[in-house]
A and B are shown apart, each in its own frame.
Chain A
């Protein structure tokens, strides 16, 4: 079974402070990991894929297979970063179903 755990329901940080949103996963094979963001009452948008190793809106995430983690980081939080963030996992190779975590609400305090 595949599982994604986001331990924090709410993370509050001050503007300019570093941000780390935690994501741990459980999967027996080779996983593909994603971060999605949902701004207030909008559709979910893809933020990052671990395969692409891109930095989007200043966010980065590194897949740590030893710790089975895929934490999302940003060095300096901005007010516009306030949103719900979901970590998601699928198997690699072909089409595999995607499992989401329960989400973390990031609140950036001005």
Chain B
């Protein structure tokens, strides 16, 4: 039982490049979400999903896309990376009756 697995752990992108942050969970959780963590700003919700085929925007969705084709996977796509997207990204999943289980994070730098 691996919990929530995020890849990669570190990534450096050039401005304008695109990439996908991977997130997978093996706990059969319906609810999954992506957050970015920035100093002094806490965690801000980017996108979330309440089940396969259903996604919705959070507080800061611009520049990011998500899809949820399976219960297990919830990838986050950066369409055209910008320096403002330099951050630590956390994926999390949740069972209805419990709090979040978080992934270990992806530290992204856009230069």
Contacts and interface: CB of A to CB of B under 8 A. Distances in A.
Do the two chains bind?
A: yes
Interface of A: 6, 9, 34, 36, 42-46, 49, 86, 88, 94-95, 97-103
Q: Is the interface of A mostly helix, strand, loop or mixed?
A: loop
Interface residues of B, number: 26
Interface majority SS on B: helix, strand, loop or mixed? strand
A100 B43 contact: yes
Nearest to B56: A97
B33 to A, nearest CB: 7
A46 B100 contact: yes
A9 B40 contact: yes
Given A43-B104, A43-B105, A97 B98 contact: no
Interface string B1-43: 0000000000000000000000000000011010100001111
A86 B102 CA distance: 13
10 contacts: A42-B104, A43-B103, A44-B43, A44-B92, A46-B100, A49-B98, A88-B99, A98-B94, A100-B42, A102-B40
